[in-house]
Amino acid sequence: MSLITWTKEEFGTNVTVADEQHKVLFGLLNDLHDAVPAGDRAAIGAKLVALVNYVVEHFAEEERLMTATGYPDYAAHKAEHTKLLETCSGVAAKFHKGELDITHDTTAFVKDWLVTHIPNVDKHYGPYLNSKGIS
């Protein structure tokens, strides 16, 4: 069973590019989660890199939309992104040095972050970006 499933009710921001990227993000997190039980470090590492790279790409896109439109809560929003990326970079670096394993606790941490951040932080830019003609 998938760790995380995108639904419009829970995660819809009313901004198409964000919703599409969130769906991809969930897919990459599910892929990583599903790779954990077999314990193949090469496979897990590849999925971890794919997930972290996509998180970077997604955050950059959200930040681009927010700065382009002068979004008032940009700084606080970006600070949340930066904090998660610092955590993810630290985990990935330790994993690649062989100092840490990726477990279901790791994927649960990312899920918890997403299910908090998207409804409580991302959703707030929806009406603002819509008012600037982005939907």
95 or 122: CB nearest Fe ion:
122
DSSP 3: S
Q: Are 67 and 34 in contact (CB under 8 A)?
A: no
Span 71-130, contacts to Fe ion by CB under 5 A = 122
Residue 53 Cβ vs Fe ion, minimum distance, rounded to whole Å:
15
Question: Within 10 Å of residue 62's Cβ, how many Cβ atoms?
Answer: 24
Determine if residue 134 is left, alpha or beta; phi over 0 gives left, psi from -120 to 50 gives alpha, anything else beta. Answer: beta
- Would you count residue 31 as binding Fe ion (CB under 5 A)? no
31 or 122: CB nearest Fe ion:
122
Stretch that binds Fe ion, among 48-56, 62-70, 87-95, 101-109 (CB under 5 A): 62-70
- How many residues sit close enough to Fe ion to count as binding (CB under 5 A)? 2
Copy the structure tokens of residue 76: 């606080």
- Would you count residue 28 as binding Fe ion (CB under 5 A)? no
Rounded CA separation 33/125 (Å): 29
Q: Which residues bind Fe ion (CB under 5 A)?
A: 62, 122
